[in-house]
């Protein structure tokens, strides 16, 4: 069996998957609130060295040597993936319906056809009915949503919309510049951020979303700003070049295994015949 060929093919598939992740990150470099994804690619030699003392096979034995040989014939593969939740840069827009969260691990809550979801994208707007919605049309939810089931809405007379650092909205009284309380944004901090599952439209699902409580004093909401993507375009382009080079190397290894080595073996067999 030509294990080298299959190892190179598996390595190429791993790099294709890595390329997909990098491409998705680059495609969202200008998406507000987007968090980049990263892959962990297993290096079996490194994993062996880290775990060999815990293996049942003692070092310097025949069994340990056989294990090491089997390990070295395996190809790199994706062993884990994660989302980098670090903050992106804050970009001032001057739009009173743009909101940003200045701390990691905080999210807005929005209503979708599949239930309540979390998002970091605070570039909101008003729909035809005056409801506060995302650019995709999902309703932005207030802090008391799970008790009342209501959303956040404004009237035509609400010409002034202001918000404090905790997400409390204020609107003006009709024909007046005096402000009065409106709804408060549902700002949440999940207990375990690793349980978040990325979905489309820059949303996250959370298993126990209805158990989440809105923070009374987050102190992190900024009006007139949006959080930019935390994707480093230069770094991603560098990784893309590296990945393309690795794909080329694996392809060359596969070509050598199937063509040059097979041709050499056939010629030797033919001479002996």
Same domain for 161 and 109: yes
Same domain for 222 and 111: yes
Same domain for 96 and 62: no
Paired tokens of 45: 């030699």
Cα–chain center distance at 270:
56
Same domain for 205 and 78: no
DSSP characters over the chain: --HHHHHHHHHHHHHHHHHHHHHHHHHTTTSTT---EEEEEE-HHHHHHHHGGGSSSPTTSHHHHHHHHHHHTSPPEEEEEEE--PPPPEEE---TTBEEE-STT-EEEEEETTEEEEES--BEEE-TTSBEEETTSPEEPBTTHHHH----B--TT---EEE-TT-EEEEEPTTSS-EEEEEEB-EE--S-GGG-EEETTTEEE-TTGGG----S----EEETEEEPP---HHHHHHHHHHHHHHHHHHHHHHHIIIIIHHHHHHHHHHHH-
Same domain for 217 and 255: no
DSSP characters over 26-42: HHTTTSTT---EEEEEE
Looking at the DSSP bridge assignments, the partners of residue 221 are: 101
Of residues 187, 194, 154, 189, the one with CA closest to residue 172: 154
Q: Each residue's pLDDT tens digit in the chain (273 positions)?
A: 466 677 777 788 888 999 999 999 999 999 999 999 998 777 665 665 665 565 555 655 666 656 555 555 566 777 778 899 999 999 999 899 999 999 999 999 999 999 999 999 999 999 999 999 999 999 999 999 999 999 999 998 888 999 999 999 999 988 888 999 999 999 999 988 888 999 989 999 998 898 899 999 999 999 999 999 999 999 999 999 999 998 888 888 877 777 766 666 666 665 655
State how far the Cα of 30 lies from the Cα of 221, in Å rounded to an integer.
21
State how far the Cα of 253 lies from the Cα of 237, in Å rounded to an integer.
24
Same domain for 160 and 119: yes
Same domain for 241 and 139: no
Same domain for 110 and 32: no
Same domain for 101 and 77: no
Same domain for 138 and 41: no
* Number of separate domains in the chain: 2
State how far the Cα of 104 lies from the Cα of 247, in Å rounded to an integer.
35
Of 212, 227, 242, the residue that ends a domain is 227
Same domain for 170 and 127: yes
Domain that holds residue 197: 90-227
- Residues across the chain: 273
End-to-end, the C-alpha distance of the chain in Å comes to 22
Same domain for 94 and 78: no
């Amino acid at each position: 069996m030509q294990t080298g060929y299959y190892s190179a093919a598996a390595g190429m598939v791993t790099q294709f998957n890595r390329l997909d992740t990098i491409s998705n990150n680059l495609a969202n470099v200008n998406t507000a609130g987007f968090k980049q994804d990263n892959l962990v690619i297993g290096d079996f030699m490194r994993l062996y060295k880290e775990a060999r003392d815990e293996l049942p096979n003692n070092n310097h034995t025949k069994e340990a040597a056989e294990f090491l040989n089997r390990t070295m014939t395996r190809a790199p593969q994706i062993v884990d993936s994660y989302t980098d939740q670090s903050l992106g840069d804050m970009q001032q827009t001057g739009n009173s319906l743009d909101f940003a969260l200045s701390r990691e691990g905080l999210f807005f809550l929005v209503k979708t056809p599949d239930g309540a979801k979390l998002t970091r994208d605070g570039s909101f707007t008003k729909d035809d009915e005056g409801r506060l919605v995302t650019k995709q049309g999902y309703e932005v939810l207030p802090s008391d949503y799970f008790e009342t089931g209501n959303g956040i809405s404004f009237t035509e007379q609400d010409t002034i919309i202001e918000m404090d650092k905790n997400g409390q909205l204020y609107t003006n009284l009709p024909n007046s510049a005096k402000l009065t309380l409106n709804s408060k944004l549902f700002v949440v901090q999940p207990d375990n951020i690793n349980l978040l599952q990325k979905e489309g439209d820059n949303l996250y699902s959370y298993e126990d979303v209805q158990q989440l409580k809105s923070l009374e004093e987050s102190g992190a909401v900024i009006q007139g700003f949006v959080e930019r993507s935390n994707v480093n375009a230069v770094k991603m382009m560098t990784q893309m070049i590296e990945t393309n080079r690795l794909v080329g190397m694996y392809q060359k290894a596969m070509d050598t295994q199937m063509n040059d080595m097979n041709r050499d073996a056939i010629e030797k067999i033919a001479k002996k015949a």
